[in-house]
């Protein structure tokens, strides 16, 4: 086959096959276990699933696959996290996503250190965990109350109820007097 014919054939095959791979999963491509997991989430079956946008179908299929690979302990933890996510407000969810992104941007050593600290905290008895949470909250409040305000230097010295200081008047101009002898005018 000539090179241009091969290229044309490759382009034709790519045009026919690419949409099949890009379309994402359909209901029939899911295992029976995955279908059982996905059905309650979409409140339906094949028709509802196949009408979802492709990224949503991929996420559901991937989530079902991951769930099936988890052991019972991992499933319990995932269920707890999902429940807490469901009860969060939009601002709380946004803050959680921002914290996760900041964590992912940390160097690997810092991530591992934080994870070790979290595991250590999780092994503590509930009263000790509560005591540490309260101490941390008080430390944050203390820091917030003692941090200097970003005000001009003279205003930051005044209590908040007082108005700012007026500007200083310009220096008075003096007219030259008669020549002096010594330090004192005559």
Three-class DSSP category at 181: coil
For 75, how many CA atoms within 13 A lie in the half-sphere containing its CB? 10
Distance CA 42, CA 71 (A): 24
Buried b (16+ CB within 10 A) or exposed e, 159-173: eeeeeeeeeeeeeee
Element (H, E) at 137: helix 126-146
- pLDDT score for 165: 53
Distance CA 131, CA 123 (A): 14
Domain ranges, ordered by start, for the chain: 18-87
Give Cα separations from 173 to 20, 23, 167, 168, 182 (angstroms): 88, 84, 18, 15, 22
- pLDDT score for 44: 80
**How would you write the pLDDT of the chain (186 residues) with one tens digit per residue?**
555 655 555 555 555 544 444 567 888 888 889 888 888 888 888 888 888 899 989 998 998 999 999 999 999 998 898 889 889 999 999 999 999 999 999 999 999 988 988 888 888 899 988 988 898 888 888 888 887 666 555 544 445 555 555 566 777 665 555 555 555 555
Cα dihedral sign, 87-93-99-104? positive
pTM above 0.75, yes or no: no
Do residues 37 and 68 touch, judged by C-beta distance below 8 A? yes
């Amino acid at each position: 086959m000539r090179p241009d014919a091969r290229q044309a054939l490759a382009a034709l095959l790519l045009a026919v096959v690419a949409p099949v791979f890009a379309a994402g999963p359909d209901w029939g491509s899911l295992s029976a276990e995955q279908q059982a997991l996905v059905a309650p989430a979409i409140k339906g079956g094949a028709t509802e699933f196949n009408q979802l946008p492709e990224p949503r179908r991929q996420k559901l299929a991937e989530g079902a696959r991951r769930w099936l690979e988890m052991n019972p302990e991992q499933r319990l933890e995932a269920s707890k996290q999902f429940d807490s996510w469901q009860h969060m407000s939009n601002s709380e969810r946004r803050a959680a996503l921002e914290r996760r992104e900041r964590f992912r941007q940390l160097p690997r050593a810092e991530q591992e250190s934080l994870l070790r600290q979290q595991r250590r905290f999780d092994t503590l008895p509930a009263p000790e965990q509560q005591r540490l949470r309260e101490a941390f909250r008080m430390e944050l409040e203390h820091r917030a109350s003692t941090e200097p305000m970003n005000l001009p230097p003279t205003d930051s010295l005044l209590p908040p109820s007082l108005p700012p200081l007026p500007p200083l008047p310009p220096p008075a101009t003096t007219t030259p007097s008669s020549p002096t002898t010594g330090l004192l005018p005559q």
